[in-house]
């Protein structure tokens, strides 16, 4: 009897996932714990391993479809031998490179790449659509026209466009293609929450600039010894994490959240650090960051960044967080206004370091300067507290010995 492959519980409050890439094909023999398919939730992408060795007898859910927790998405024959493959209940997505001919069309018919994506997005086969491109090619416009006509109840067979007066197809028109790609579940959730933050919170942003000379000097003096001892580079992020914790202790409302009609103050500091991944920015959390050393912070962030690119972050590592730091400077951003990650009340945005002329003791000197931005929820954070918090971060970063002396 086939073993049912179901969607596991992938996180708190998550009830459904989106099917990502199938890493094994129907009819393929797999070993226990081999990754079968990627599952995209609103918080992360995870791989579902094979529970036993066997043969994939049936794939029930295709890429892009949604499935609820506990729903069967495939069946596995546990004997390890190839068995007769059942026909899938939903049409499998054709491979674009192989789908160059269809039985219901002339042999010379071709499908343009953008049209192939559109066919898959709307669950159509190439034979459903009449091509109007040169040589009978199926264009993306043909697919969209077919879908629109089907919705309006009109006939689905389009009339080929009239050729130009010289009877030659327009090269400019033939080259103008579009590609329609559905948003991933992670990207849709990010979009929804950013909009929610704009509507639910009263967001304001305050700015300041930090002279990075002292931190750069410390990194230059101790960076080599630090890397030799801990086998990781001494970056800027650990300094900012320490500076934020110092400032959060002085202004705890920025480490709090609004919960219904109450303000909840946290006596711990779980700092989210935005890192890039194959699916966009994700925010893993440094738990109890106030207890971590510089080396532990740098090691944790480096591990987050590596696993984010491999889509191997754990769901629990992306949940919670009382304050967030986002470093747009690594991408070259000079100034921006970050958006608070609900239900947090603040986020610190870091930017690129640039040498700029500044006044020091009546003289103009060139210093490595960084703009910093604090976006905060004005429902519970007053402007005075926000400005003072950012000023404290500036003071600590410009005199980093304060981190040791706690003054």
Distance CA 22, CA 230 (A): 39
Active-site pick, 34, 211, 377, 382: 382
| 3-state secondary structure (DSSP) of residue 74 | strand
Q: What angle do CA 102, 103, 109 make, to 5 degrees?
A: 40
128 catalytic per annotation: no
Distance CA 159, CA 211 (A): 66
| 3-state secondary structure (DSSP) of residue 37 | strand
Q: Roughly how many angstroms between the first and final C-alpha of the chain, as a whole number?
A: 69
Distance CA 78, CA 59 (A): 15
Please state, as a whole number, how many other Cβ atoms lie within 10 Å of the Cβ of residue 184. 18
Q: Are 189 and 40 in contact (CB under 8 A)?
A: no
Structure tokens at 367: 């210093």
Active-site pick, 142, 166, 266, 378: 378
382 catalytic per annotation: yes
Structure tokens at 335: 């100034």
Q: What is the DSSP letter of 26?
A: T
| 3-state secondary structure (DSSP) of residue 391 | helix
- Positions annotated as catalytic residues are 378, 382
């Amino acid at each position: 009897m086939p073993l049912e492959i179901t969607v596991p519980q992938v996180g708190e409050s998550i009830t459904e996932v989106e099917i990502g890439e199938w890493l094994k094909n129907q009819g393929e023999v797999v070993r226990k714990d081999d990754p079968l398919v990627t599952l995209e939730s609103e918080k992360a992408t995870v791989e579902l391993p094979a529970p036993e060795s066997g043969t994939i007898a049936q794939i029930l859910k295709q890429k892009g479809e949604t499935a609820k927790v506990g729903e069967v998405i495939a069946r596995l024959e546990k004997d390890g031998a190839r068995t007769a493959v059942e026909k899938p209940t939903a049409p499998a997505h054709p491979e674009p490179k192989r789908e160059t001919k269809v039985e219901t069309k002339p042999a010379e018919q071709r499908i343009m790449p953008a049209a192939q994506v559109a066919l898959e997005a709307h669950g159509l086969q190439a034979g459903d659509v009449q091509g109007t491109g040169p040589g009978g090619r199926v264009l993306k416009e043909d697919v969209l026209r077919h879908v629109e006509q089907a919705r309006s109840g009109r006939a689905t067979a389009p009339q080929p466009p009239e050729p130009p007066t010289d009877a030659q197809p327009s090269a400019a028109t033939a080259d103008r293609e579009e590609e329609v790609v559905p948003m991933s579940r992670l990207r849709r959730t990010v979009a929804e929450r950013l909009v929610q933050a704009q509507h639910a919170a009263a967001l304001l942003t305050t700015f300041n600039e930090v002279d990075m000379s002292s931190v750069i000097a410390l990194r230059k003096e101790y960076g080599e010894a630090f890397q030799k001892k801990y086998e990781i580079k001494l970056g800027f992020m650990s300094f900012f994490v320490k500076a934020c914790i110092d400032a959060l202790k002085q202004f705890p409302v920025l480490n709090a959240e609004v919960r219904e009609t109450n303000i909840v103050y946290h006596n711990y500091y779980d700092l989210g650090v935005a890192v890039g991944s194959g699916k966009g920015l994700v925010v893993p959390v440094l738990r109890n960051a106030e207890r971590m050393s510089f080396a532990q912070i740098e090691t944790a962030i480096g591990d987050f960044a590596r696993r984010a690119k491999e889509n191997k972050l754990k769901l629990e590592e992306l949940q919670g967080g009382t304050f967030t730091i986002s470093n747009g400077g690594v991408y070259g951003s000079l100034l921006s206004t970050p958006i608070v990650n609900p239900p947090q009340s603040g986020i610190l945005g870091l930017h690129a370091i640039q040498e700029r002329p500044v006044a020091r003791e009546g003289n103009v000197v060139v210093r490595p300067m960084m703009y910093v931005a604090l976006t905060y929820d004005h429902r519970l954070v007053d402007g005075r507290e926000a400005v003072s918090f950012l000023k404290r971060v500036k003071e600590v970063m410009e005199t980093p010995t304060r981190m040791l002396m706690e003054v």
